[in-house]
Amino acid sequence: MVNLLNLTGHNKEETKLPRFECTKCGACCRDEFLIVTVTGSDIVRITAVLGLSPNEMLKALDFYVVSDGESIPVGLERFPSVATEGGLSFISLKKMENSECVFLKDHLCMIHPVRPVVCRSFPFVFDESDGQRTWGLSAKNEICPGLTTGPQVSEIEIAELADSILPEIQIYREFAKEWNDNQISPTALNLLKTIISDTRFYS
């Protein structure tokens, strides 16, 4: 179960779980500044469902590089970056010129059953440290009209969502550390090939 401390440190008594119901508006699929990060498990699921090769999957991804001395963008502080030829990068789904996700078509998500964990959890975010799980709202939660509508989110729903997301992120953290520690000349393509061949992402 999730310990109901939110990411700002407020306790259960001070933090009322919000009302939320997805309106399927697609705002989170179109926002120019929302980076849809992906884990190794996300990549494996998408490539399997769409039958993509590593080269084809590469075309659907962006690699956001954080230069030395540059601050990590808000919302990415807890997400692992991986070494590529461009430097340490956050892997995300590609944005088209109109800011829409590469997998958005006719206002619908083409990969909805295997959408990334950040899409499944939005507008909520989760973290786990020293055995304690915490939750909060995305830095981009203001774009979501589903917040404050619908039924109040229950503790059980928050716990189940955390259970489905945090283990995947932890596996990806472990992979990212191993990858970053052992690469001399990393490339994005070899990274994808390694992810797709790693059995940890198939559980």
Q: What is the pLDDT of residue 3?
A: 43
With a cut of 60, say whether residue 144 has pLDDT above it: yes
How much is the pTM? 0.89
Determine the pLDDT at residue 9. 40
Q: For residue 118, give the nearest of 14, 188, 29, 15 by alpha carbon.
A: 29
Distance CA 53, CA 187 (A): 16
Mean pLDDT of the chain: 89
Which letter, b or e, does each residue of 178-199 get, where b requires 16 or more Cβ atoms within 10 Å of its Cβ? ebeeeeeebebeebbbbbbebe
Rounded alpha-carbon distances, angstroms, from residue 4 to 20, 95, 97: 17, 34, 39
Confidence of residue 130 (pLDDT cuts 50, 70, 90): confident
The token duo for 140 is 């981009």
Residue 16 has pLDDT above 90, yes or no: no
Quickly state the pLDDT bin for 56 (edges 50, 70, 90).
Answer: very high
How many residues belong to the chain? 203
